[in-house]
Structure 1
Amino acid sequence: MIRSRDVVFNEKVMYKDRNTQVSEPEEPEYFGPNDVSENRVLEPVNQNDEEQGEPECYDEAYQGKDASKWELAMKDEMKSLISNQTWELAKLPEGKKALQNKWVFRIKEEHDGSKRYKARLVVKGFQQIEGIDYSEIFSPVVKLTTIRLVLSIVAAKGLYLEQLDEKTAFLHRDLEEEIYMQQPEGFAEDGKEELVCRLTKSLYSLKQASRQWYKKFDGFMQGNGYLRCNADHCCYFKKVKSSFIIG
């Protein structure tokens, strides 16, 4: 069943004048099944003519005209995962359950107008069990007031401002729990399909991923002489001779 409603806007009468001025709205034009002539033939939409969007799953990524681009994006993601030694293949221990995963596809708009195809492997973290697969998950998030304050200081004192994005940030922190995951779809190692991935590094969508990344970042900043702000644990300060750095 499809329920719909047609609304006609009367743009000739102001709302405040609705009681003093009457104007009949134009009757909308409707097309019935017998009103379609040779000049009104409706052509079916050809999906190949439309720009393909972001795939919802692995199979869909390989069925579209951008399959080669998504394949390169997945291989690039796998290269990052392997180079960071995110997991090691092992037999699933008795009593343990391997988490499922999925590919997430995004098209990023670059500053020059070009498009970058990005694929990310994420764990289905909702399958994790508290007390077994994770314990603490809290991670501080920078406050908007802190960002505004830092930007105002930069503007008032004419400081140098730089913004960066850490690639594969969550992959830089070791896991404290013993977690197993199925091999990524389409990238199971030949001859070892029965093995699973024993995660050694935090992976996207794990419940403790954000916390593990913050602990890694906090340790790095304080290890390099930065002081953590008491009012916002995501803000750091360091004096450098007669100047200073806010991070």
Structure 2
Amino acid sequence: MKSKGQRCLHIGEPDNFEDAKTEECWRRAMNEELWSIQDNNTWELADLPNGQNAIELKWVYKVKKDAERNLMKHKARLVAKACVQEQDVDFEEVFAPVARMDSVRLLIALAAQESWRIHHLYVNSAFLTGELEEELYVKQPPGYIQEGEEHKVLKLHKALYGLRQAPRAWNVELDRTLISLGFEKAPLEHAMYKRGDGKDRLLVGIYVDDLLITGADEEVIANFKLQMKKLFKMTDLGLLSYYLGIEVQQKPEGIIICQEAYAKKVLESCGMKDCNPSHVPMKPRLRLSKKSEAPAVDATEYRSVVRKLRYLTNTRPDLAYSVGIVSRFMEAPTTEHWAAVENILRYIKGTTNFGCVYLRKKKKEMVELLGYSDSDMAGDVDDRKSTSGVAYFLGGSIVSWLSQKQKVVALSSREAEYIAAATAVCQGVCLGRLLGDLTGKEPERVVLNIDDESTISLWENQMHHGRCKHIDTRYRYIRECVEESKIDVNYICTDDQLADILTRSLGRQKFVKMRRRISVQAVK
């Protein structure tokens, strides 16, 4: 016989309060949410002033599961219907920075290199913590209207989920708190904070209500956790194991990240759970066009699948090129485009447990930021634009990658390579400065490898003639970085160009070789 919790899970997530109130698990979840809000002094009963509008509230229900899709808890969230809010009346600023995935991977790679452990703190009801600057009123929540006070509304002192300014209010509060605790914000990544030097060095990465914490001294980390728990209601999740759908394994030899559970979920949602696996994500020499005369497919479904695949590239650089290609046809996809998506799904079927490996630094090993830049030539058959491929490695492990169609039409392979190199230089300088901020050291010169000598000669030999004048005008920055010793540009042979996997579809043997060399491998 099933328990009430099991029966509740069986019926799924309720759509409204009327459906939820009949189940004990959801009533308990709503009571916990309301108690948390009231304990936080979020609102008070008040009469609605003339000229003010009261925002409606609604309940949102979610079954929380872990990476193995086991039940963790039933969560009820009280959310404001913020669609009625007007800018400059009900709110002003809404932007709140979060850590970019490149920065998160750099933090993970650095922790792996230094044999640091990464801890995970979760802020309970984070958006309820931010102080509101505006005067706002909401209606009493469904099912919890106080008897005899039905005509009154709730005046908000702090933010609620759903309010347009809630993320901003929480971020301001968290930023103020961390600064008061002696942290300094990284200039290039406003969601990264640092404190102390040497053994006392402490790094914190922020993504809304998730805090990633790492450093050399476990005692320093433990003291910081105690400080935060005194200021906010927080859940200590221990060592980082699951973050934004990314599974993290921390081992003595290094750190591994993958999205196995998410990949399986994508396959299941697409009806490809039992498909035959493919050895490569895209067939070699495949050329797709927007002018395809094949029958059209459901654009909404196509976009939904491609968006899921794009999120999977956060730990799968081997998918970046193929997913980038199919993303170009989201407006009017055909069966030819859908066949390419299905091939990617079949490849994922055979590599669901693949991810990025970040190894521990060996003794006396020099750790440098090493980049690779490459491009194809006029690969897009519709507008003849080329594709840039950029990859950066820290200690042999990939931390940043890019496969992107260039914004202009290159008139030669040299220009296509130069455009890709300019993109790589910008990314490399940014990563180098961020790494210097996190380690407390001067940014080291970044090394960029290119497999085209004529491209390197453009900034080394100061050549100026009619055919490269427009390149010099548009991409002067790369020459300045070389002259100022911010970056070293080296020539490598094509066989050692690791960014090749980001610019074209490769044959099976070469693809598998390149995948292994960029540290993407099975993690179990």
TM-score, length basis structure 1: 0.76
Is 2:63–2:71's contact at 8 Å kept on the other side of the alignment?
A: no
Is 2:80–2:160's contact at 8 Å kept on the other side of the alignment?
A: yes
Please report how far the alpha carbon of residue 208 of structure 1 lies from its aligned counterpart in structure 2 after TM superposition. Answer: 0.5
Please report how far the alpha carbon of residue 241 of structure 1 lies from its aligned counterpart in structure 2 after TM superposition. Answer: 5.8
Hey, what does 1:230 align to over in structure 2? Answer: 187
- Structural mapping, 1:158-169, within 5 Å: 158-169=115-126
Q: 1:146 aligns with which of 100, 103, 108?
A: 103
Please report how far the alpha carbon of residue 234 of structure 1 lies from its aligned counterpart in structure 2 after TM superposition. Answer: 0.4
In 1, the alpha carbon distance for the partners of 2:106 and 2:176 equals 24
SS across alignment from 2:145: coil
Q: 2:161 aligns with which of 182, 197, 204?
A: 204
Partner deviation per Cα, 1:161-212 (whole Å, 9 max, x = no partner): 1012111001111100000000000011121111000011011010000111
- Structural mapping, 1:1-247, within 5 Å: 51-63=10-22, 67-110=23-66, 113-239=70-196, 242-247=199-204
Partner deviation per Cα, 1:32-72 (whole Å, 9 max, x = no partner): xxxxxxxxxxxxxxxx9992010011011124xxx111000
Partner deviation per Cα, 1:129-169 (whole Å, 9 max, x = no partner): 11111011111121111101100010000012101211100
Gap runs ≥5 in structure 1: 1-47
Structure 2 residue identity aligned to 1:163: H
SS across alignment from 1:235: strand
Hey, what does 1:24 align to over in structure 2? Answer: none
Please report how far the alpha carbon of residue 114 of structure 1 lies from its aligned counterpart in structure 2 after TM superposition. Answer: 3.5
User: Which has a greater percent of helix?
Assistant: 2
Hey, what does 2:436 align to over in structure 1? Answer: none
Is 1:110–1:116's contact at 8 Å kept on the other side of the alignment?
A: no
Change in Cα spacing, 1:131 to 1:159, as seen in structure 2 (3 Å) is: same
In 2, the alpha carbon distance for the partners of 1:49 and 1:80 equals 23
In 2, the alpha carbon distance for the partners of 1:206 and 1:115 equals 27
SS across alignment from 1:246: strand
In 2, the alpha carbon distance for the partners of 1:50 and 1:226 equals 42
Count of residues in correspondence between the two structures = 197
Is 2:160–2:166's contact at 8 Å kept on the other side of the alignment?
A: yes
Root-mean-square deviation (Å)? 1.8
Is 2:137–2:153's contact at 8 Å kept on the other side of the alignment?
A: yes
In 1, the alpha carbon distance for the partners of 2:72 and 2:141 equals 25
Structure 1 residue identity aligned to 2:122: D
Higher Rg of the two aligned structures: 1
Partner deviation per Cα, 1:8-27 (whole Å, 9 max, x = no partner): xxxxxxxxxxxxxxxxxxxx
TM-score, length basis structure 2: 0.36
Please report how far the alpha carbon of residue 115 of structure 1 lies from its aligned counterpart in structure 2 after TM superposition. Answer: 3.8
In 2, the alpha carbon distance for the partners of 1:50 and 1:95 equals 44
In 1, the alpha carbon distance for the partners of 2:149 and 2:67 equals 42
Which structure is richer in relative contact order (CA contacts within 8 A, separation 6 or more)? 1
